[in-house]
A = this chain, B = another copy of it.
């Protein structure tokens, strides 16, 4: 069994619609690649009790939990304090991080606000990265990262080698124009039943130019089963009178 991952997006800006989230898909793809697939995402507001309760619940339920957002120097950056609380440990100055930041900014510019970003839960390991001197951190099975996508990605690259890995989740996709779900529902269900360990999905698309069709996707970790099921999907598309196109949506 692959290890499970979950993501907690901490951010009023996503819930208000101000910002289009760009981190969920990045993590979904990369966690699938290392075989620790994303099983749940929660987007929650910057409220102390909500963050503590959500992190507490998710770290018990999943093998590894990621958070994004709320680790900067302003008053709405409360993630680190909440994660400390969820682990029942104090938030304290991480001396090594403070020294790195003081060196980076210079003593004059290492302000009280910046000092906040060197405060980590006791026992946490900093996630140093190529984009920001202020780190993310890992405590227990929780990995706390920035919300800004470029910094989040640098933190993920840095922590990825230390994560629980499993078998890569592979997928095969067949596209077909002018194919409707109701035309293939029964044979597609038969494919799912024949390979219960795979994940067989059907996703309609509607192009702006009016063309419609389906993407049929098979996902799993067993390559032999995957290829066999993908072939069965190709055949059921053809049997329904449509043209199966592999990999990319037909133009």
Q: Residue A139 at the B interface, CB < 8 A?
A: no
**Beta-carbon contacts under 8 Å, A115-156 to B:** 116, 148, 150-151
Contacts of A224 in B (CB 8 A): none
Closest 6 CB pairs of A and B: A17-B28, A17-B29, A113-B185, A75-B189, A41-B43, A113-B182
Least CB separation from A190: chain B residue:
B75
Count residues on chain A whose CB falls below 8 Å from chain B CBs: 64
The verdict on A21 contacting B24 (CB below 8 Å), with A113-B185, A189-B74 known, is: yes
Is A98 an interface residue, CB under 8 A from the partner?
Answer: no
A12-B201, A39-B15, A74-B189 known; A181+B45 contact, CB < 8 A: no
Given the known A-B contacts A74-B181, A76-B202, A201-B12, are A40 and B32 also in contact in the complex, defined by CB atoms under 8 Å?
no
Compute how far the CA of A21 lies from the CA of B111 in the bound complex, rounded to whole angstroms: 39
5 A–B contacts, CB within 8 A, in A order = A14-B25, A40-B43, A40-B44, A75-B188, A116-B185
CB < 8 Å: which of B17, B39, B185 contacts A32? B17
Does A211 belong to the interface (CB within 8 Å)? no
User: Scoring A residues 174 to 206 as 1 if CB is less than 8 Å from chain B, else 0, what string do you get?
Assistant: 000000011111101100100000011111111
Assess the B114–A182 pair: CB atoms within 8 A. yes
Query: Which residues of B are found within 8 Å of A203, using beta-carbon distances?
Result: 13, 18-19
For the complex, what is the distance from the CA of A16 to the CA of B188, rounded to whole Å? 20
- Chain B, Cβ-Cβ closest to A203: B13
Q: How far is the CB of A63 from chain B (nearest CB, A)?
A: 15
Whole-angstrom distance between the Cβ of A108 and the nearest chain B Cβ = 12
- Return chain B residues, CB-CB under 8 Å to A200: 75-76
A32 to B171, CA, bound (A): 37
Check B41 against A150 for contact (C-beta < 8 Å): no
Let me know if A36 is at the binding interface, CB within 8 A: no
Chain B contacts for A182, CB-based, 8 A: 73, 111, 113-114
B74 touches A188 (CB 8 A): yes
When distances are taken between beta carbons in the complex, the residues of chain B under 8 Å from A42 are 40-43
